[in-house]
Amino acid sequence: MFELESKTIQNSDGAAYQLLIVSGDLGIATIGQLKNDLLAALQGHDHVILDMAAVTDVDYSVLQLLCSANKYAQQHGKHFQLKGQCTEAFIDRAQSLGFFRDQACNEAEDPTRCLWIPENLN
């Protein structure tokens, strides 16, 4: 099971973004729930950051969902970012499933925002 906490963060310059803090095991069993949460957040906000630092396990469906969310955001002129995803569980899985890239794929609306390029791992 995972837990999701949603917060609105206001920058000093007035810009706001929605921070989703997710924790626990993410996987196919709960993927529908996570999808709905993400979709809702992206529909309601222009800038969504998903903090994955407390995630203990991911599977293919999660990586697929993240990729999909990023696509959606770009198609709708929004900004989707990951934060704290460099956990062992996440990195190992993305590596063995062959998700990481040197360059963004050519379908990307904005190649700099690809989730899988080195620049966007933090």
Partner 1 sequence: MQDAPQNAFKEEAYELLSELEDSLLELEEQPDDHDTVSKVFRAMHTIKGSGAMFGFTTISEFTHEVETVFDLVRNGELPVSKQLVDLSLKARDHILSLLDCETEEQAQYAAQGAELVARFQALASGGSAPAPAVVTTPAAEPNSDAQKDDFTTYRIRFRPSLDIMHNGTSIAQLLDELAELGTCRTIAHKTNIRALDELDAEDCYASWDIILTSDCGEDAIRDVFIFVEDDCELIIKAIDLGDDDDGMDRKRVGDILVERGDISQAEIDEVLAKNKRIGDLLVEAHLVSRDQVDSALLEQQEIRKLKEKKKEKTQSASSLRVPADKLDDLVNLVGEMVTVQSRLSQVANQRHDAELLSIAEEVERLTEDLRDSTLNIRMLPIGSTFSKFKRLVRDISADLGKEVELKTTGADTELDKTVIEQLGDPLVHIIRNSMDHGIEMPDDRVAAGKPRTGQVHLSAEHSGDSVIIKISDDGKGMDPEVIRNKAVSKGIIGADEQLTHTDILNLVFAPGFSTAQQVTGLSGRGVGMDVVKRAIESLRGSITLDSEKGQGSTVSLRIPLTLAIIESLLVQIDDGRYVLPLSAVEECVELTAKDIHDAHGRNLARVRGHLVPYVPLREEFAIQGKLPTVQQIVITQINGQQLGFVVDNVIGEHQTVIKSLGPMYRDVQCVSGATILGDGSVALILDIVYLMQKASEEGRVTATA
CA distances to 11, 15, 28, 54, 75 from 119, rounded to whole Å, are: 23, 23, 28, 21, 21
For residue 56, state whether it binds partner 1 (rule: CB under 8 A): no
Q: Which of 52, 65 has the CB closer to partner 1? A: 65
For residue 31, state whether it binds partner 1 (rule: CB under 8 A): yes
Q: What is the rounded CA–CA span in Å between residue 103 and residue 67? A: 14
Binds partner 1 (CB under 8 A): choice among 98, 112, 119, 122: 98
Q: Which of 12, 96 has the CB closer to partner 1? A: 96
Phi-psi region of 120 (alpha: psi -120 to 50; beta: other; left: phi over 0): alpha
In whole angstroms, how close is the CB of 103 to partner 1 at the nearest point?
6
